[in-house]
A and B are shown apart, each in its own frame.
Chain A
Amino acid sequence: MSANTLDPNKWVDRYSDYLFNYTIVRVNNREVANDLISETFLAALKSAKNFKGEASERTWLISILKRKIIDYYRKINSRKGKAEVKINYSDDFNDGEWLEEQVADQFDKTAEDEMENTELGLAILECLDSINEKHAEIFKRKTIDGADTEAICNEFKITPSNLWVIIHRARTALAACLEKNWF
């Protein structure tokens, strides 16, 4: 018996946010991201018998998703008949416009920061895996969606003080996890 087993009925609840955030920064289009994730789940189901249990479920799903993303880029490039190469400064009409693009980047905000932030998002979601599923869901509704306290209380049938206790525990766990894994 291997350490990791698959539980397809829990995939959406457990991993869809992670996969979504992983995809959205790579394809930058919600519709496409949704399609790719849907394809990933189906492909995963089809090859579930090949899952050896060596990796965690999420790592395995991500590896399938990665292939789907690569396939997607291959497809859009072959549609054009060539790899996408953008060269700007060739047409005479926009003479001098390149000057604008030569301006130095702002020092305080670089592409690296942006990349770091997307990885941070994934790190946060990974950390949320370690806490109770329902609590993580409540925390996400409150923090990411910015939902009303009252709305969440009605949705999950809890009292506001329950909610704040859950939020407190989630935040404490998350802070500890991020300190360990992120800094």
Chain B
Amino acid sequence: MSKKNKFFFIDCSKAADCCNKAQYEEANFLDKAKLYIHLAFCKTCRKFSQRNSKLTDLLHKSKIEHCPEEKKQQWREEIKKEFAEERT
């Protein structure tokens, strides 16, 4: 494959990488263009991409929250203290 072709035609692992970045809005224009060119002829990646977008959608819909880190630290200490007392 010529250099030019290599530039535009990426393999599946690179496409998956671009696709993942796109889920987090971190793919630049060139990445996206390469991804779409790849998707045009690769059925497996089309399927993967579809699934990936669906997952992003679900993650947004679920509204999961991360528990605040300072609370976690506080609980860790509480448990450690209590656990040590239980043992003695």
Contact = CB atoms under 8 A, between A and B. Distances in A.
A121 B72 contact: no
A17 B79 contact: no
Given A168-B16, A168-B20, 19 more contacts: A8-B79, A9-B76, A13-B72, A20-B67, A21-B64, A24-B65, A37-B75, A41-B79, A42-B82, A117-B61, A117-B62, A118-B63, A120-B62, A143-B59, A144-B64, A149-B26, A164-B20, A171-B23, A175-B52
Given A37-B75, A149-B26, A164-B21, A8 B61 contact: no
Contacts of B58: 120, 124, 178
Interface size class of B (residues with CB under 8 A): 20 to 34
A124 B75 contact: no
Interface string A72-115: 00000000000000000000000000000000000000000000
Contacts of A48: 86
Interface of B: 16-17, 20-21, 23-24, 26, 51-52, 54-55, 58-59, 61-68, 71-72, 74-76, 78-80, 82-83, 86
Given A9-B83, A45-B82, A121-B63, A142 B75 contact: no
Contact of A124 (B24, B52, B64, B80): B64
Interface string A143-183: 11100010000000000000010011001001100100000
Contacts of B59: 124, 143-144
A8 B62 contact: no
Contacts of B67: 16-17, 20, 37
Main secondary structure of the interface of B (DSSP, over half): helix
B20 A167 contact: yes
A9 B79 CA distance: 7
B70 to A, nearest CB: 10
A38 interface: yes
Contact of A16 (B63, B75, B86): B75
B68 to A, nearest CB: 8
A178 B17 CA distance: 21
Cβ-closest 7 pairs across A and B: A121-B62, A20-B67, A121-B64, A120-B62, A12-B76, A16-B67, A12-B75
A134 B51 CA distance: 24
Contacts of A21: 64-65
Given A41-B75, A42-B78, A178-B55, A117 B63 contact: yes
